[in-house]
Structure 1
Amino acid sequence: MATLSIVAVLAVVPLLPLTLVFLVHFCIRALGWYLQGQTSDRKAAIISRLKAERAALSYDHTSQEAEDGWEKIEKSGTAENGKLLTDDWNGVVGFFHPFCNAGGGGERVLWAAIAATQKRWPNAVCAVYTGDHDIERGVVVATVQSRFGIHLQEHSLVFLYLSTRRFVLASTYPHFTLLGQSLGSLILAYDAFRLLVPDIFIDTMGYAFAVAFCKYLFSNVPTAAYVHYPTISTDMLQSLDDTTGEKGIHSGAGNGLKGKGKRYYWLAFAKLYGFVGRQIDVVMCNSTWTQGHIRQLWKPKRKSSSFAAIVYPPCPVEELEKRVQLTRESEKNRQNIVLYIAQFRPEKNHSLILRAFAKFYHAAQDKPKLVLIGSVRSDTPDEKHVYNLRLEARELKIKDATSFICDAPFSVILDYLQKSSIGTNGMYAEHFGIGNVEGLAAGLIPVVHNSGGPKLDIVVPFEGQDIGFHAETDDEYAAAFGRVAAMSLEERFAMRARGRKSTKRFTEAAFASKWVGEMEALVKLQKAN
């Protein structure tokens, strides 16, 4: 009898881990059912309110047409050939973007994505989960229009205000920051789902853990992630062994006992990051560099060439083409200026550009100028960083030829885009580099770091000819600056024209087309559930 009991126990032991996994999975799914039930009334109220707003807007347009003889207003729900769309999906798309009022490139992607979604599915609701409590819908719509030139439909947009954003701030986690922020995003996601469970959930900031959490809570909610850069990458891991100091802020940090601990921590986190990434239905990447790392880290269950599609971020190409003249006559107005537009942060490696420019400057007969334009974050070490860069410029004896412009308005940036000759960047493994696209569109000849998005996506041959130069060391940068200066006016103009023409890949229209294609897949999944 005792033997039979022991055998029975031994037979059950292997099942305990599976039983535990099942119980955890069931509890998470039960929590999801509870959240869907708790937020269903709010969801219905939001849909009803926005539907009423659309109806009122439609009535106003009809009345104005009848009274004033206006031509019939084109409805946003029509296809390009003028026929009505057969797919008039009217679900709720939740955009997870806790810092939606930051006004940067990531926010441009968010608003362009919402605008494209609204145009394709005019009866859908776009709900933005944000931790910015001081914003109002009407003000945001107007600000997005003036800042980015993106038109949003106010009557299908709603903001849901999060109260736990502090859990994703880097300052909250002095140690184990990557893990802390990632786990903190689970708290923030739960905060979001307590407000509203959407029909489709999209992260546009890089919180992969939050998207995977959504998938575990709600199996019937399709998920997507637009990845600007991976939370961890193989480049970061490789930088731990770098001895040059030129591969990011973690170069050489793998030495010693502390460095070994960092390496094991990063490797373990990379495994966890890969696991959560594999739970996401649709993945979009902003560049070839990002795509390569995401495919390597997330390794989808089913290999597909369409996994982690590249959807280039929308850039203000058309606006710059209108504002910056590019003709043979305007070439004569270009000055011998090297322009670097980037935030004043250590990872942007302004020091490399200073050293390179110093070599270029001291060897040049026609003395060039260097202009560094960037934002300085309040309550951060950015101001001290700028001070140290000024000291370095003095030590390199280029102080009088170097200008530091902090938090410049767009008018100042535009002025330098019009009159500068070279655009540069010094960051190692920059995930995309929208500033480089803007420089190309404005007619600058780029000299960029031989890595990341600038190398793989932006400064690439166009129509079989070069549009700029790549460099890694200060000697290589200085030589490239010299090559541009040595060109004839005709050669420089031809390269500028090719560079501007190549930026058509990065327009807002190109982004919208690819975004809608990925959204179609999500809508199809949602309908199938």
Structure 2
Amino acid sequence: MMRTDLLSLLAVSPFFILVFFLSNIWTTLRVALITGPVLTMLSWGLLVQRNSYSRRKPIRDQVLCDQQAFDNERRPSPKSEDDDWEQVPNETFSKIATKKTSKSNYDGFIGFFHPFANAGGGGERVLWAAIKATQDRWPKAICIVYTGDHSSGKATILERVKSRFDIDLHAPTIVFLYLEKRDWVVASSYPRFTLLLQSLGSIVVAHEALTRLAPDIFIDTMGYSFSTLYCKHFFPHIAIGSYVHYPFIGTHMVESLTTNSGQGVNAGMGKGWRGFGKKLYWYCLLQLYKFTGIAIDVVMTNSSWTQNHMQRIWGGIRERKSAAMVLYPPCSVEEIIDKIPLEGNHATPREKLLLCIAQFRPEKNHELLIRAFQLMLHTKAPEVEGARLVLIGSVRDSEDETLVYKLRLLANELKVDKQVDFRINSTWGEILDWLKTSWVGVNGMWCEHFGIGVVEYQAAGLIPVVNDSGGPKEDIVVDYEDGPTGFHASTAAEYADYFTKALSLSSFETLEMRKRNRLSSQRFTTEIFRKSWCEQLSRLIDISK
């Protein structure tokens, strides 16, 4: 009996051995399928990080060399008239300098992911003001700007920053790393599935940026949140920040596809099977966008409107992380107030000019403003006689140039081309001149995320007529000191009515509203931005350590 049992056992043993072997293979494969990609990503990230360390030394050496040349150019002459300065021992001066900067000795690499750094818009103002604040607070930090502006060298870009925004940066500690694959995030590169392909393209561009140099802190300042997700997966030790100007895609955009909902460039396009497909596509993309929020350590938004939307999108997935903080963009409020008096002998006489400061992009809705201006002139009211519309904005590429051409054709078609001025890529000094003499400041974008130009209108004493949505409505053109600061409109007819009303206010009402606007604008000064930015960057520095 025992012999029979033994034979039976030996007969089935190969089967059990095979089962055991196969089950272990499956377990091993499952573990490999789960952990393999993760380990591969981490290993690859560590390899790139290790390689980037070899690139840090030449960059740091070049920064030190540039700093030495900068110091030599500004070193006082030995025959200086200030004898007291000559008598101060170098050691004493060194101790004083060290004492003052003892809390500002952070010398890490801070990467700013901004492929269109030379575009000259509001987003670029935030970028350069953030770098300026960083340099003032942490003078030893090295600011890396990842950009695709190959046609412009460092000196050219910084010169434009000075002329366009009046921001004077310290050149030695700024390093530009030029990206070859910026076209991967250009909307015109994708006639179909633009948002999705741009998102995937931003991963390709981020890969190029991080392989060139992996910084200690990575900050996305253009809203390419898929790049931050890529960075976190491959470089988990890098502290990641994001300054969100506008939700990449939000519920308000999906809702605008339905009939009579919203005024965006895709409003009302959700009809039929094609519209249903677009809604489904946007909904799926929104779900992907929600997932990217988990990668970001510190989220900053430019307005309470943007903050509310980002909380709706990222709030659930970021429960264990800090909530998005409102950090209003820096506006040249102080300088405008200093150079543009509202009353007295030094005040410049105002003309009947309706001024729009906005980049030439489809979403800025210049077409609406031109049509509203034509309707206003059509009323032939005495208050609007001699009025002109001035459109000031930057142009990045041929697509923007085509838009300007179409707007000129529209003005000609409506027979208002003689009363509409186009000012392309104006300098800051030219913009100040227009702010001095204009009467009304206008904004036409639906759900504008913030509206730096609108704040500039307020600081200069213009009467704002803005879209009844977004940041201009919720944050800027609000009642202040128990009085209105401007008007909100949605349709061309409403804009035309408020244009007329703004030009028809009595002298007393106009001056009082100008004063309220100026006081209200002081909520958005560069100094307030600087302090808030340094607080958030301090958090990222602590995380990076």
Identify the residue that residue 234 of structure 1 maps to in structure 2: 251
| TM-aligned CA distance change 1:135 to 1:416, over 3 Å | closer
The 2-side partners of 1:462 and 1:197 are apart by 46
Secondary structure at the aligned position of 1:478 is classed as: helix
Identify the residue that residue 473 of structure 2 maps to in structure 1: 455
| Structure-to-structure mapping, 1:445-524, within 5 angstroms | 445-524=463-542
| TM-aligned CA distance change 1:68 to 1:140, over 3 Å | farther
Identify the residue that residue 9 of structure 2 maps to in structure 1: none
Give RMSD over aligned pairs.
Answer: 3.1
Identify the residue that residue 27 of structure 1 maps to in structure 2: 40
Contact kept in structure 2, 1:316 and 1:438, CA below 8 Å: yes
| Aligned residue pair count | 519
Q: State the TM-score, normalizing by the size of structure 1.
A: 0.89
Contact kept in structure 2, 1:344 and 1:385, CA below 8 Å: no
Identify the residue that residue 44 of structure 1 maps to in structure 2: 57
The 2-side partners of 1:485 and 1:67 are apart by 57
Is 1:308 aligned to 2:327, yes or no?
Answer: no
How big is each residue's C-alpha offset from its partner over 1:412-467, in whole Å with a ceiling of 9 and x where there is no partner?
54443223221111211111112211111111111111101110111112223211
Q: What one-letter code is carried by the residue in structure 1 that aligns with 2:369?
A: I
Identify the residue that residue 200 of structure 2 maps to in structure 1: 183
| TM-aligned CA distance change 1:110 to 1:66, over 3 Å | farther
Q: State the TM-score, normalizing by the size of structure 2.
A: 0.86
Secondary structure at the aligned position of 1:278 is classed as: helix
Is 1:317 aligned to 2:333, yes or no?
Answer: yes
Identify the residue that residue 379 of structure 1 maps to in structure 2: 398
Identify the residue that residue 257 of structure 1 maps to in structure 2: 273
The 1-side partners of 2:154 and 2:425 are apart by 27
Secondary structure at the aligned position of 1:95 is classed as: strand
C-alpha deviation, 1:89, in angstroms: 1.2
C-alpha deviation, 1:238, in angstroms: 0.9
140-149 or 459-468: which moved more? 140-149
Is 1:390 aligned to 2:411, yes or no?
Answer: yes
Contact kept in structure 2, 1:99 and 1:130, CA below 8 Å: yes
C-alpha deviation, 1:482, in angstroms: 3.6
Identify the residue that residue 98 of structure 1 maps to in structure 2: 115
Q: What one-letter code is carried by the residue in structure 1 that aligns with 2:407?
A: V
| TM-aligned CA distance change 1:10 to 1:263, over 3 Å | farther
C-alpha deviation, 1:284, in angstroms: 0.9
Larger radius of gyration: 2
Identify the residue that residue 341 of structure 1 maps to in structure 2: 357
Contact kept in structure 2, 1:433 and 1:454, CA below 8 Å: yes
| Structure-to-structure mapping, 1:114-513, within 5 angstroms | 114-243=131-260, 247-303=263-319, 307-327=323-343, 333-363=349-379, 364-368=381-385, 369-375=387-393, 378-380=397-399, 381-394=402-415, 402-407=419-424, 409-410=426-427, 413-513=431-531
Secondary structure at the aligned position of 2:383 is classed as: coil
How big is each residue's C-alpha offset from its partner over 1:32-68, in whole Å with a ceiling of 9 and x where there is no partner?
0110111211112212332344356556666647855
Sequence identity (%): 41
Secondary structure at the aligned position of 2:448 is classed as: coil
Contact kept in structure 1, 2:301 and 2:325, CA below 8 Å: yes
Secondary structure at the aligned position of 1:429 is classed as: coil
Unaligned runs of 5+ in 1: none
Contact kept in structure 2, 1:373 and 1:408, CA below 8 Å: no
The 2-side partners of 1:407 and 1:165 are apart by 24
Contact kept in structure 2, 1:222 and 1:525, CA below 8 Å: yes
